[in-house]
Chains A and B, each alone.
Chain A
Amino acid sequence: MHFAEVEEVKRAQGDFALNIDVRPNRAGDCFSHLGIVREIAAILKLKTELPFTEAKVKKRTESSSPAKDFIQVEVKDKNACPRYSARVVNFIKVGPSPKWLRDRLSVCGLRPINNIVDIANYVMLETGQPLHAFDGEKMKGGKIIVRYAKYREKIVTLDEQRFDLDSDILVIADAEKPVAIAGIKGGKLPEIDKKTKTVIIESANFNSQIIRQGSKKLNLKTDASLRFEHGIDPNLTEPALDRAASLIQKVAGGKIARGLVDIYPKKVFPKIIRLNLDYVESLLGIKIPEKEIRDILESLDFKIKNRVPPQRDEGEEEAEVLFAHKKSKILDVGVPTRRLDVSLPEDLIEEVGRIYGYDKIEAVFPTSSLVPSKRNLDVFWKDVAKDILKEAGFTEVYNYSFFGEREAKSFGYKEGELIEVNNPLSQEQKNLRTSLIPNLLKNVEKNFKRTKEISIFELGKIFKNQKTEGEKNMLSGVLLGDMFFRAKGVIDSLLNKLGISDVWYDEYKPTPEDSKLSIWHPQKCAEIKTDGKEIGFLGEVSPRIINNFDIQGKVVLFDIDFEKLSELASEEHEYRPISRFPSAVRDIAVLVPRFIKVEEVLNKIYDSGGDLIRDVDLFDIYEGEELPQGKKNLAFHIIFQSKTGTLSSEEIDGIQNKIIKILELMPEWQVRK
């Protein structure tokens, strides 16, 4: 509730292991038992006594020979390695670790190796500072050089992996060769073995970005690289080193050489953050007493000073700010250098808030000016369109935004048309979809075994490899079966309800460049047009495409540019008065050549009937054996109605006869009486 989540508690070898999910901002100080102990102490308001206070460590005995005599350290790039500390322990006895040490390491998931390596690992777990132990006698020239590797320089690591290095990878080298990949993994050459007498313990601080890049490049993640890439306090090298040296002396005997080898050109000092207590209250929304704020910060090792009243020479701007807050209390807070995550007042407020407890903050509704929410028309029309299709019996699907190779190939997409994913999870996700259709057909395929009643739609983004309009919303749907006219009826109703009028359907004329259009059956596809613009397509899927899927039968699709649709949509709708005068219905049947479009006939009827025709309904299209070859029969209801009076049957007959006459003027058209 105050720090991090304990994900798991398990019994292990007579001990308890807690698996704690430390968030990355706290890796610097809390990827260690010590860090967790400090947190627990602050939360429970306890005092901690750490196992390696300076006093305890100082009890170790140092020999008279200085460490400098055994090793010389040279750091080539101070930015890549802000601090390099080392100690030397002589006359040690390498052997297996005592049981307590082996047990503790294995509970934490580390494999015990020998007492020296185990202590290095143990202190890393304890403090968060990765350590490395070299056999002092194997270091050529008695030198440690921190430098970048040379191009194709080679190293074999402790676990016998070979790496070809590069000039952006930091290494620890002796006078001749790299002996470790800095901050990531030790090398085989100066390995600690049974005969090792002199150990050099490295406790260094490396640039987090350089370690992260190196670890990524070599694809090598270790306990050390994990800690370094999150950043570690450079002031931690020394206490960790002292702790390790005294443990080695205790466990493996030997003499600690005098002094610390330490390259630390730019010492890091605690930051001071100015914390305005009014801001604490304002951001958390609760007044926490000053005493409590101080106690919380101090329990986390922050050092608090009252702010000294401002001097005149601090600059007018600052004086003004202070004047504005003249009643507010300001604290100057010193941040322990290990708290790399704290650099702003907001960071301190989080510290106060979490230890105080977010559960203690009472909910308070914001007082804000009464600005009504803005209506988002895109969202509005999406909702309307989805509702209409739902009412028409369609089921909405959500598909993945990707295409596999199979789809790209079977739909004839050319290279360069699709946006490729650099790091796809699978072959199915190699490209971003440029159409909703392939995945909709896969939906049909998937459900086909269980049902033949499939009408589904999706409203979603497609992606094109172009500068503008790279992504846009499409509205596409699929119907299973010989459903062209049902689909057309649905589109008609959809457009009508969206307030889009003057819709017409043009025969689709494929252009050779347009590869995506090979989706359509060339004889059964229409362009949906309104206002002279094409807004989408409607048609049967080409058998060539269907053959790539496990679907039998016909599939009808619509594919509409939703951006255009929502631009054209309008809520304006006008009521058409219901005529007070009765209407009359007459039927007419026309025999026409097969290729004549219904629309042509309809237009002729409307043209010749004039204002008195309210509506014409096609109720039957028939092509059959009884009819002459190449002809079809179209049957219409014509509804006559006048706005100004009741039509007499003579008047109606008159118009009807006129219509017949005009229809029969067309060659090969014949009105059936």
Chain B
Amino acid sequence: MVKINLKTLKIRAQKEIEKTGTPEGLNEVFNKYLGTGKGELTLVLRSLGKLSKAEKVKIGREANDLKKILRIQFDQKEKSLKEKLHKEVEEREWIDVSAPGKKPLFGHLHPLTITERKVEEIFQGMGFSVIEGPEMESEWYNFDALNIPKDHPARDQWDTFYLRNGLLLRTHTSPNQVRYMEKNQPPLRIIVPGTCYRHEATDASHESQLFQIEGLMVDKKISAANFKATVGEFFRRFFGKDVSFRLRPDFFPFTEPSFDISISCVVCGGKGCSACKETGWMEVAGAGMVHPNVFKNSGLNPKDWQGWAFGFGLERLTMLKYKIDDIRLFRSGDLRFLQQF
């Protein structure tokens, strides 16, 4: 029969728990005292049966209390050891957060695609359909149908690439006004994005190949005031701020009256700077009320319909938006440029 001093057992056990520095060590101490097989306290509890009733009750209670206390202490110790361990691991695993991140391999859409989509989205939101047309165009659609007769100096406004097959490279997206109205009865609202060509030498602000967006709205009573509202809404949404704009008289054979549209300089806000040649304004588009001859050439009676049309250069809008200073960058294929978008 083991003579047990629960008090010394408690002191010994607590000391050993205290001393232990590792989870493995703690496990050993636990087995030594509370282990299922040979734990000292386990043995005490197991030997209770051999004691007298009074002793059984007394020692039994003391031993059970001690067991509870030790368990709590083991648990606490275990927690603190784990915490310590985590801390050590964490400290060992320091990284330098100021080191550069690894970039995922993203692709890039062309800035003109980004702008085209933005423009399309805004106009689609106002009920305009997106239409496309051919880049090789006949003289009829590109000029005659648009009230630009042969041997007329007005044609000089459009320097043209002529092709061996008798066609030409469209100088604007306007042929699609006629192409669309031939096949579709008004009321109608369309925009026509597409590549156009100008036979002119290139420099930082001139290109022989351009991306244009045409707009056309026709109904019974469409007015210049309606045009101002629509185009104003477009500028507000496109530039994301209140951009003021103005119409000035201009001349296009296929619109009458004709306007040019300038917006307040997006660089200086209209105060005057080098970007707007100190005028505070930037020319961005041509527009006007559809000429009666264009309706006639589309098979519509000009007495029945009124409408407006505009043409934007997408490069110009994109250059304004991103402050790009050389139009030739768009078709340069230079990744240093393209991968900024």
Contact = CB atoms under 8 A, between A and B. Distances in A.
A374 B131 CA distance: 9
A308 interface: no
30 contacts: A1-B249, A286-B223, A344-B292, A346-B291, A347-B256, A358-B248, A359-B247, A361-B225, A361-B228, A362-B228, A364-B225, A368-B127, A373-B130, A375-B129, A376-B132, A398-B112, A399-B333, A401-B209, A419-B165, A421-B162, A421-B163, A421-B169, A422-B163, A443-B333, A446-B334, A450-B336, A454-B335, A455-B107, A461-B195, A471-B135
A212 B129 contact: no
Given A5-B248, A390-B109, A353 B224 contact: yes
Contacts of B151: 209, 212-213
B224 A376 contact: no
A5 B199 CA distance: 24
A423 B113 contact: no
B109 A285 contact: no
A389 interface: yes
B208 interface: yes
A230 B153 contact: yes
Interface in B213-244: 217, 219, 221-226, 228-230, 232-233
Interface string A446-458: 1100110011100
A365 B230 CA distance: 7
Nearest to A351: B257
Contact of B221 (A282, A446, A456): A282
Contacts of B62: none
B130 A376 contact: yes
Contacts of A284: 223-225, 257
Contact of A471 (B131, B136, B217, B334): B136
Contacts of A432: 136, 163, 169
A23 interface: yes
Given A23-B251, A212-B151, A392 B107 contact: yes
Interface residues of B, number: 80
Interface string B151-175: 1111011000111110001000000
Contacts of B132: 376, 378-379
A571 interface: no
A375 B106 CA distance: 29
Contact of A465 (B165, B195, B219): B165
B212 interface: no
Contacts of A25: 154, 251, 253
A393 B339 CA distance: 11
A26 interface: yes
Given A5-B248, A461-B195, A393 B105 contact: yes
Interface string A383-424: 100110111111111111100000000000000000111111
B329 to A, nearest CB: 10
Interface in A265-324: 282-286
Contacts of A389: 107
B164 A419 contact: yes
Contacts of B224: 283-286, 353, 358, 361
B331 A400 contact: yes
A372 B127 CA distance: 5
Contacts of B136: 419, 432, 463, 470-471
A349 B250 CA distance: 14
Interface in B88-117: 105-110, 112-113, 117
Given A364-B228, A365-B230, A368-B219, 13 more contacts: A2-B249, A3-B249, A27-B153, A229-B153, A282-B221, A361-B224, A361-B225, A373-B127, A376-B132, A390-B107, A394-B107, A399-B331, A451-B335
A334 to B, nearest CB: 19
Contacts of B112: 398
Interface of A: 1-5, 23-27, 208-209, 212-213, 229-230, 282-286, 344, 346-347, 349-350, 353-354, 358-359, 361-366, 368-376, 378-379, 383, 386-387, 389-401, 419-425, 429, 432, 439, 442-443, 446-447, 450-451, 454-456, 460-461, 463, 465, 470-471
A544 to B, nearest CB: 23
A486 B277 CA distance: 50
Contacts of B124: 373
A285 B225 contact: yes
B153 A395 contact: no
Residues of B contacting A: mostly = mixed
B130 A358 contact: no
B1 interface: no
Please indicate which of the listed interface residues B120, B251, B259 has the most CB atoms of chain A within 10 Å of its own CB.
B251
Contacts of A208: 153
Nearest to B261: A358
Q: Which 9 A-B pairs have the closest CB atoms?
A: A285-B225, A285-B223, A350-B257, A443-B333, A23-B251, A390-B107, A363-B229, A366-B226, A358-B247
Contacts of A359: 246-247
B140 interface: no
Contacts of A446: 332-334
Interface in B287-311: 289, 291-292, 306
Please indicate which of the listed interface residues A369, A372, A454, A463 has the most CB atoms of chain B within 10 Å of its own CB.
A463
Nearest to A370: B127
B223 A283 contact: yes
Contact of A344 (B123, B187, B201, B256): B256
B134 interface: yes
Nearest to B107: A390
Contacts of B275: none
B223 A364 contact: yes
Contacts of A361: 224-225, 228, 247
B153 A368 contact: no
Contacts of B106: 390, 393
A396 B189 contact: no
A224 B268 CA distance: 42
Please indicate which of the listed interface residues B124, B257, B332 has the most CB atoms of chain A within 10 Å of its own CB.
B257
Contact of B229 (A364, A371, A375): A364
Please indicate which of the listed interface residues B127, B222, B256, B336 has the most CB atoms of chain A within 10 Å of its own CB.
B256
B306 A439 contact: no
